[in-house]
Structure 1
Amino acid sequence: MPRIICVAGARPNFMKVKPVMDALEQRGAEVVLVHTGQHYDAAMNDVFFADLGLRQPDRHLGTGSGSHAEQTARVMLAFEPLVTELRPDAVVVVGDVTSTLACALVAAKAGVPVAHVESGLRSRDWSMPEEVNRVATDRLSDLLFAPSPDGVDNLRAEGYHEDQIHLAGNVMIDTLFANLDRALASDVLHRYGLTPGGYALATLHRPANVDDSGMLAGLLKALAEVARQLPVILPVHPRTAARLEEAGLPDGIRLVPPAGYLDFIALQASARLVLTDSGGVQEETTALGVPCLTMRDSTERPITLTEGTNILVGRDPERIIGTALRVLVEPPAKRSPALWDGHAGTRIADVLLAYLAAPGRLRPTDLRQAVSEAA
């Protein structure tokens, strides 16, 4: 059976890669889990892995933070010797973080097939580093696993071959459904004195929202107005904490520590309204049937607008406030896209293993051996 490296660099990556790892290992593949260390919080790491039931990484590259160029270079320098050592038959990358692109680039240059999970998503906002990562990673990849039909449409419009493109469904929802019962058994609401449907949940972390003091002040103003209707709970992302301290926190917004995976799903599931700038939260609230307002000017997940519970409200405080007040009275209908059914990881594993086992196809290890013998 093939040896497959699965790469993760940030917390959302682990939610996405676990269903694929599980399905590959169930089919007998040798899976090497690589943590690039792009994002690493020692205080949150153990509880997060325990929440997901995820084994510890086989390799930790420890690349750390830095500018986009620094992170990309560090990940590539650390990952290239590992690819040379392990000689994998494929590399699976997920999502759109810097590690995703860096490892895809190393694998592609080494002649190792690349599979991109969560392929084809497009915001068309080139000010977002994630958009650059998405487009470049897709171009480097041999197999493109889209979570929704709009992703397939984007890939076709960009000229990819049909045999590269696969509508797989959403691996984030695989992880959500696999852990939902455990999440709902969490005591997080009791700990914070909350009642189901009696609070709003907010998240803020994107640089465009938290690094601009004027923009952050406007978003906090909007959250403060929502807090006049019901409590607003804001788990403090490490990136946001320092900015909030500088900006000053309005009355009515309650800061809580960063939540583990199960606690955060529980907070989402019981919220009356979620306000966010996170891509994953747009998907999770859709699967949970919870109204979500996305405080961004664009989204790479438009299916959550047309077939979910998400509303793209931009970053104008008055628009956010007006939409929130309307949704509190008349929430959007609950609906979820096709193939967000908990089996995306299985579909991805089946396609990847069939691709690697295709008759007449040389595996990277076979190709290198043939070249060596010819020399």
Structure 2
Amino acid sequence: MKITIVAGARPNFIKIAPIIKAIEKKQNEGANVFYRLVHTGQHYDKNLSDTFFDELNIPKPDSNLEVKSGSQAEQTGAIMVAFEKELLQNPCDLVLVVGDVNSTMACAIVAKKQNIKVAHVEAGIRSGDMTMPEEINRIVTDSITDYFFTTSTSASENLIKYGVDETNIHFVGNVMIDTLYQNLGRIFEPLFWNEFQLETGNYIVLTLHRPSNVDEEQSLIQLLQGIDKMADGKKVIFPIHPRTKAILGETNLELKNIHFVEPQGYLNFMYLIKNSFAVITDSGGISEETTVLGIPCFTMRNNTERPETQSIGTNKLVGISIGNLVKLFREFLQKGKKKSGIPELWDGKASERIIDILLQK
């Protein structure tokens, strides 16, 4: 079996790393399986891309489509044009896509139009919010996928509601958690750890990148000022996304507690998360990692495609209002951590299950 694996953005790299390891393990056992790794170039900042290949021991891509940025349509179109040429030059039996970025949808469409089977890792998750580009990417990808690999029973149920044949749905667990478990022994302090006098449990990690939180400068400033005040002397480490940094420009915010740092590599970032007091984010993936690590997480969104991080894990959905965040954060300070657990099959073996299933197809 020849598999083309597609990666385009930071979350993709974290998800493909254990899949590649699972394939290589099968190769060492004599299985007739080969892979070709295609990087679309959707994320091209070194700290959002190249660093992850080095840190997670992912082989250098066999091909980099180098599409870079642009509007949703420009980027998607550029990926499709480049990936079509890639598949014509390097035929395969299966295209494996992960997550919900533009690369995921674009490469799935191209593969199906060339009559190549598509496997979608992290299939079936839904936020119900059609204003999110990721939600459209999920729906389109799942509408043409052949093999669906889900992280939760709720994701599998979503697919069944859409009319997907149950025999093609495989609840395997979470490959992001595979990567987390495989690297917990390798995480290490970022360079600024001593500079900011950080200690385990004495700081908050903040990440923001969604348009609803960062696209309007004044509302972003008010949000940051509110978080700064709410922190009440506790340091807030904010690895700022290049896009968010550009929106703020040279504005002097006079923040007392929030410290801006560059985007972090995986090993540094996981060290920050694991040793934090709490996390404030608008990322879905981070709420999965905090759930496994037992770190309180406050997600600044009105919805989530990962409900298990709330029902079982440490995640609290707080909306995009600074007032609601302050209210719920104060409740957390008064009551302490909520009782939580780790979702079913988030055990570090999802990637092995995926490859075992594909080899039976």
TM range (shorter): over 0.9
Query: Amino acid of the residue matched to residue 323 of structure 2?
Result: E
Query: Amino acid of the residue matched to residue 39 of structure 1?
Result: H
SS at match of 1:354: coil
Report if aligned partners of 1:72, 1:99 keep a CA contact under 8 Å in 2. yes
Higher percent of residues as helix: 1
Report if aligned partners of 1:16, 1:171 keep a CA contact under 8 Å in 2. yes
2:25 is equivalent to residue 21 of structure 1: no
TM-aligned CA distance change 1:211 to 1:265, over 3 Å:
same
SS at match of 1:189: coil
User: C-alpha deviations, 1:115-153, integer Å up to 9, x for none?
Assistant: 000011100000000000001101110001111111011
Measure how far apart 1:222 and its partner are: 2.8
- Using the aligned pairs only, state the percent identity: 47
Measure how far apart 1:230 and its partner are: 1.1
Alignment of structure 1 residues 102-113 onto 2, 5 Å: 102-113=106-117
TM-aligned CA distance change 1:187 to 1:255, over 3 Å:
closer
**Which residue of structure 2 aligns with residue 340 of structure 1?**
346
**Which residue of structure 2 aligns with residue 303 of structure 1?**
308
Mapped partners of 1:192, 1:53: distance in 2? 29
Alignment of structure 1 residues 26-175 onto 2, 5 Å: 26-28=25-27, 29-42=33-46, 45-175=49-179
SS at match of 1:103: helix
TM-aligned CA distance change 1:337 to 1:105, over 3 Å:
same
Report if aligned partners of 1:221, 1:317 keep a CA contact under 8 Å in 2. no
Mapped partners of 2:288, 2:78: distance in 1? 31
In terms of mean alpha carbon deviation, does 39-48 or 300-309 score higher?
A: 39-48
For structure 1, the 5+ residue unaligned runs are 356-375
Measure how far apart 1:41 and its partner are: 1.2
In terms of mean alpha carbon deviation, does 12-21 or 340-349 score higher?
A: 12-21
TM-score norm. by structure 1 comes to 0.91
Measure how far apart 1:246 and its partner are: 5.7
Alignment of structure 1 residues 295-334 onto 2, 5 Å: 295-329=300-334, 330-334=336-340
For structure 2, the 5+ residue unaligned runs are 28-32
SS at match of 2:97: strand
SS at match of 1:254: strand
Measure how far apart 1:303 and its partner are: 0.7
Report if aligned partners of 2:40, 2:64 keep a CA contact under 8 Å in 1. yes
Report if aligned partners of 2:42, 2:69 keep a CA contact under 8 Å in 1. yes
2:246 is equivalent to residue 242 of structure 1: yes
Mapped partners of 1:43, 1:176: distance in 2? 18
**Which residue of structure 1 aligns with residue 292 of structure 2?**
287
Measure how far apart 1:46 and its partner are: 4.0
Mapped partners of 1:258, 1:248: distance in 2? 20
User: Aligned to 1:354, which of 331, 343, 360?
Assistant: 360
Aligned-residue Cα RMSD (Å) equals 1.5
Mapped partners of 1:277, 1:254: distance in 2? 18
Query: Amino acid of the residue matched to residue 116 of structure 1?
Result: H
**Which residue of structure 2 aligns with residue 370 of structure 1?**
none
Report if aligned partners of 1:9, 1:35 keep a CA contact under 8 Å in 2. yes
Alignment of structure 1 residues 181-196 onto 2, 5 Å: 181-184=185-188, 189-196=193-200
Report if aligned partners of 1:189, 1:267 keep a CA contact under 8 Å in 2. no
In terms of mean alpha carbon deviation, does 330-339 or 280-289 score higher?
A: 330-339
Report if aligned partners of 2:217, 2:248 keep a CA contact under 8 Å in 1. no
User: C-alpha deviations, 1:29-57, integer Å up to 9, x for none?
Assistant: 11100000011113554432221111111
Report if aligned partners of 1:51, 1:261 keep a CA contact under 8 Å in 2. yes
Measure how far apart 1:333 and its partner are: 2.0
In terms of mean alpha carbon deviation, does 254-263 or 113-122 score higher?
A: 254-263
Report if aligned partners of 2:148, 2:169 keep a CA contact under 8 Å in 1. yes
Report if aligned partners of 2:105, 2:141 keep a CA contact under 8 Å in 1. yes
Report if aligned partners of 1:226, 1:232 keep a CA contact under 8 Å in 2. no
SS at match of 1:159: coil
Query: Amino acid of the residue matched to residue 335 of structure 1?
Result: G
Report if aligned partners of 1:222, 1:320 keep a CA contact under 8 Å in 2. no
SS at match of 2:249: helix
Query: Amino acid of the residue matched to residue 145 of structure 2?
Result: S
SS at match of 2:193: helix
In terms of mean alpha carbon deviation, does 137-146 or 246-255 score higher?
A: 246-255
Measure how far apart 1:186 and its partner are: 6.3
Report if aligned partners of 2:319, 2:325 keep a CA contact under 8 Å in 1. yes
Mapped partners of 2:252, 2:169: distance in 1? 47
Report if aligned partners of 2:121, 2:150 keep a CA contact under 8 Å in 1. yes
- Size of the aligned set, in residue pairs, is 354
Query: Amino acid of the residue matched to residue 307 of structure 2?
Result: P
User: C-alpha deviations, 1:267-291, integer Å up to 9, x for none?
Assistant: 0001111000011111110011000
TM-score norm. by structure 2 comes to 0.94
